[in-house]
């Protein structure tokens, strides 16, 4: 109990980063999501049994909150993503040592559907195992792998492919359909 504060504090930068990518760089929305996640984690602390890392558990809370928000704000979410200017995410980070390729990559990342973005972030960036990712997102491991594979080839096409097209918006559909 004593180290709950520390355990959660350590995870804040990771939660903020993940939320920021989910929210396409909108900082205030992202931090609201982090705050909701932390509050829920504190309230449900007893549910985390201290088995394994606390991070996958926090990501699963955040994922569920985000899905709920999306369901509520379906129309706005579609609108917001549609209006998203290229490279919205790194507006803040650009003042730091980000190279051009990094900016392009982040802009491309924003064009992936949310379910694809989630698996890619959890596995490639946050270093969760396929099993942990599956648990955090409440989908089978096979789904994680197929989404991961699609996420990677889409990202590859967006950053390397010629005439890479702006993908159709299927964020909301993808959010509902599992697989």
Partner 1 sequence: MNPQRPDRDILMAYADGQLDDVRRAEVDRYLEHEARLAQTGEPPPPGAHNPVRAEIAALQAQNLALREALAPLLDEPVPARLLQPLAPPARPWVRAAAVALWIGVGAVAGSLITRESQQDGAVVAAQNEGMQHFVHQAELAYAVYTPDARRPVEVREGSDLTTWLSRRLQRPIVAPDALPGGLVLMGGRLLPGMPGKPAAQLMYQDAQGHRVTVYLRGMAKPTAETSFRIVPGKQASTFYWVDRQWGYALTGDLPRAQLLDAARALYQRYTADDPAPPGPTAAPQA
Q: Which is nearer to partner 1, 84 or 105 (CB)?
A: 105
Q: Binding partner 1 by CB under 8 A: which of 116, 120, 134, 171?
A: 120
Look up residue 36 and give its two tokens: 């909701």
In 82-170, DSSP assigns E strands to none
122 near partner 1 (CB under 8 A): no
The single-letter DSSP state of residue 91 is G
Rule CB under 8 A: which of 1-60 touch partner 1?
Answer: 2, 4-5, 8-9, 12-14, 16-17, 20-21, 31, 34-35, 38-39, 42
**Residue 61 token pair:** 């809370």
Query: Over the range 129-160, which residues count as b (16 or more CB within 10 Å of their CB) and which as e?
Result: ebebbbbbbebeeebbeebbebbbebbeebee
What whole-number distance in Å separates Cα of residue 84 and Cα of residue 81?
A: 5
Give me the least distance between CB of 162 and partner 1, in Å please: 17
Residues binding partner 1 (CB under 8 A): 2, 4-5, 8-9, 12-14, 16-17, 20-21, 31, 34-35, 38-39, 42, 90, 92-93, 96-98, 101-103, 105-106, 109, 120-121, 123-125, 127, 129-130, 145, 148-149, 152, 155-156
């Amino acid at each position: 109990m004593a180290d709950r504060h520390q355990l959660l504090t350590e995870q804040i930068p990771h939660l903020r980063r993940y939320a920021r990518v989910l929210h396409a760089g909108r900082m205030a929305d992202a931090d609201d999501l982090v705050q909701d996640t932390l509050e829920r984690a504190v309230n449900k602390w007893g549910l985390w049994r201290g088995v394994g890392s606390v991070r996958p558990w926090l990501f699963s809370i955040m994922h569920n909150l985000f899905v709920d928000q999306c369901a509520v704000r379906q129309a706005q979410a579609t609108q917001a993503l549609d209006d998203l200017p290229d490279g919205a995410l790194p507006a803040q980070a650009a003042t730091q040592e980000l190279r051009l390729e990094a900016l392009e990559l982040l802009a491309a990342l924003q064009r992936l559907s949310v379910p694809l973005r989630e698996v890619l972030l959890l596995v490639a960036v946050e270093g969760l195992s396929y099993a942990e990712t599956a648990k955090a997102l409440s989908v089978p491991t096979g789904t994680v792998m197929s989404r991961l594979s699609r996420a990677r080839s889409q990202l590859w096409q967006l950053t390397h492919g010629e005439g890479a097209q702006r993908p159709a918006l299927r964020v909301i559909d993808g959010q509902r359909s599992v697989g």
